[in-house]
Chains A and B, each alone.
Chain A
């Protein structure tokens, strides 16, 4: 077992929230390793597959997207991508998928090891790429793939026929996973899991909402780290507690006038898209140098799965950034931009994420028109550092800064 974190009760009350959150992710991976060692089946799941099912059945699940992000952040992304490319996977393919193919095929990876899968849980509310990604790994390991298909939405709300279709798949997934788990689905446990999931989502949204204070009690980049819990352990009580503790810390910071952002807050921006994990420092540094804090990220609403009943749950899982219509996507973003009082937006044109970047040019136009803020884009990649140019990024940050300064002074600097 590569992970060293032991599965023991952590005295969470006394720990800073960020440590509590990190421990939860480590514990989730440690539990998966332990399950594997006991001979229990361990799954790999997309980040927005209804986690409530596996949690209710007591099945341990790992998250390749989280793993890929962690590997990339520890600078293993390029090595893993190149490994996958040598297997025949094109370098146009999502870098998370390439990292995952490499890992599933046995590439050495000390950055973030996790158990190899015994079953796959795929929900394409995040993209269609995951469908083929999970099929490939299912083929490699000759293991079952459980698929929940979320039709793309062209309207604000998921249509009734979508809800019926998703619900039927949800029920089907339960039956398939009961066989894998070797136990029956316990409705009472499910209710408890759903309650935890909702509590976690609310606490996450509450913590994110502290970005609205001026100055913000946090650097928005912190949220990129904390969101891992929303991916890997959102159905757990301790996750809700940790996010509540995080929110409480932010509350105290507001009272004390402190912040994890330790620089002047001259400007506030939304960072649009998945960050370039291999270049987090490179993303952060020019912003820090210019006194630009990130106070809005799309991951805030993206992981706020709040629901009161099964139909609402199906609708909640229909609302991922890459499965909602353009207008919903704009409304989410403009909502957090207004609430969190941003005066600029930095858009990441992410080579790894076609569905996300595919309507960003139109969104950019809407942001400018509706919000009157500066909007600048840069080219990058969530996990393959070869697709990111630091020089271009610095230039774009400088450009955005100039626009925001000009607007602040009452000018109309052209973009």
Chain B
């Protein structure tokens, strides 16, 4: 096994076993905080000496969560509730619950009243995040979140600790961005399944450790010669695409992921926080600078579709695969504008339904096979 393969196996082992990671952290005497999507300032958790772990659901069907949700709700949120109700999250010392979509709003209430053994830290991000008043509001709510985290941690976060947290997270974000580029350059070495595992593992690892491993992987990839890729290259877009069963189909038809616009992946590490500002302000400004995300209000009303077009062009991709999260209104409402912009640029686009409950991807297989052929024809 090459060094690269061996490292990829380590990332995969962690990505596939978040519970093992949680048990490990707790056995080491560390407190762990679960973080819902989207844009949780994990730096605050880190600065209080605790470990943030991402809560993006898991593959499976809700059972106990049906007590709280009708059928027409996003499986990501339902599966988080399912895990909590099943006791899978019992070792968490708290959960930060966001409210940036219409499912997360009531879900926050269901979690607070339905899960009594895990303290919920509530955060309502501002959609008008860019003006001075939006940044000031973010600062106030981030300070409240920090206070609640400090109460759980039993210790205060120092100013120095907050600065360090930002530095640590910036370094990790930079490593992830570098990895995304490397994975796009070397699909012969990094499969779609492996690419996902490398990025997903970061939600279940302490960031310094993830950064060290990822920097080493990036170093090894950087010295590899670029070889011609016979297959297609695409940009993926959506909320999450972490199911190996689906990603294997990408690999099977040699559809490489040149770049992504996935909330679980690149949208979460596109922007760094300033290391020269007061830390809470830096985090508020970082959120203010998040753009081109259907979950967020976009004051630059026409900016997102061309952003995806540019992403395709800059990553030398030939098409876009949209993983449409079932029952996700923001993504669904953005789709026509995005499809129109891509069509105008003659960029092929494939929309595939995605959620955590899907176990049979045979329809996606047929679509991806046909899409690979379409992209192949365009090369001629």
Contact = CB atoms under 8 A, between A and B. Distances in A.
Most-contacted residue by chain A among B67, B133, B339 (CB, 10 A): B133
Interface in B120-167: 122, 124-128, 131, 133-134, 136-137, 140-141
A92 B327 contact: yes
Contacts of A322: 102, 105
Interface string B322-335: 00101101101111
Contacts of A323: 105
B62 to A, nearest CB: 12
A133 to B, nearest CB: 7
Given A87-B336, A362-B109, A357 B131 contact: no
B206 to A, nearest CB: 29
Contacts of A93: 329, 332-333
Interface stretch (A2-10, A165-173, A296-304, A401-409): A165-173
A362 B113 contact: yes
Contacts of B68: 359, 361-362
A149 B133 contact: no
B141 A92 contact: no
Interface in A145-170: 145, 147-149, 151-154, 161-162, 164-165, 168-169
A132 interface: yes
A88 B335 contact: yes
A138 B333 CA distance: 13
Contacts of B25: none
A311 to B, nearest CB: 15
A355 B329 CA distance: 11
Interface string B90-113: 000000000111110111111011
A326 interface: yes
A312 interface: no
Contact of B133 (A92, A154, A165): A165
Contacts of A139: 301-302, 337
A240 interface: no
Interface in A127-153: 127-129, 131-133, 135-136, 138-139, 145, 147-149, 151-153
A94 B297 contact: no
A80 interface: no
B72 A135 contact: no
B1 interface: no
A313 interface: no
Contacts of A147: 127-128, 297, 299
Contact of A154 (B67, B124, B332, B335): B124
Nearest to A149: B127
B336 A132 contact: no
B70 interface: yes
A354 B109 contact: no
B106 A154 contact: no
A132 B337 CA distance: 11
Contact of A326 (B112, B134, B330): B112
A152 B329 contact: no
A190 interface: no
B108 A90 contact: no
B336 A88 contact: yes
A315 B23 CA distance: 44
B120 to A, nearest CB: 8
Nearest to A387: B72
A316 B342 CA distance: 43
A367 interface: no
B73 interface: yes
B109 A128 contact: no
A152 B105 contact: yes
Given A154-B124, A354-B329, A165 B137 contact: yes
A58 interface: no
Contacts of B125: 151
A354 B103 contact: yes
B137 A359 contact: no
Given A359-B109, A361-B70, A165 B124 contact: no
B66 to A, nearest CB: 8
A350 B125 CA distance: 26
Contacts of B301: 135, 138-139, 145
A124 B298 CA distance: 14
Interface in A295-331: 322-323, 325-326
Nearest to B100: A128
A236 interface: no
Contacts of B140: 161
Given A154-B108, A326-B113, A92 B72 contact: yes
B330 A128 contact: yes
Contacts of B60: none
B294 interface: yes
A131 B73 CA distance: 19
B299 to A, nearest CB: 7
A136 B72 contact: no
Contacts of B137: 151, 161-162, 164-165
Contacts of A161: 137, 140-141
B69 interface: yes
Most-contacted residue by chain A among B101, B102, B327 (CB, 10 A): B102
B333 A128 contact: no
A358 B102 CA distance: 8
Contacts of B70: 349, 357-358, 360-361, 379
Interface string A162-206: 101100110010000000000000000000000000000000000
A97 interface: yes
A89 interface: yes
B114 interface: yes
A135 B110 contact: no
Contacts of B126: 149, 151, 165
B141 A129 contact: no
B131 A168 contact: yes
Given A89-B336, A93-B333, A152-B108, A354 B102 contact: yes
Contacts of A162: 137
A94 B330 CA distance: 11
A169 B109 contact: no
23 contacts: A92-B72, A92-B329, A94-B329, A124-B297, A128-B329, A129-B102, A131-B127, A139-B337, A147-B128, A149-B126, A151-B124, A151-B141, A164-B136, A164-B137, A165-B126, A172-B131, A358-B69, A359-B109, A361-B67, A361-B68, A361-B69, A362-B68, A379-B70
Given A127-B102, A358-B102, 19 more contacts: A92-B327, A94-B329, A129-B102, A132-B334, A133-B333, A139-B301, A151-B125, A152-B105, A152-B108, A161-B141, A162-B137, A165-B134, A326-B113, A354-B72, A355-B103, A357-B72, A358-B70, A361-B68, A362-B109
Q: 5 tightest A-B contacts by CB? A: A358-B106, A168-B133, A88-B336, A151-B124, A326-B109
Interface of B: 67-70, 72-73, 99-103, 105-110, 112-114, 122, 124-128, 131, 133-134, 136-137, 140-141, 294, 297-299, 301-302, 324, 326-327, 329-330, 332-337, 339-340
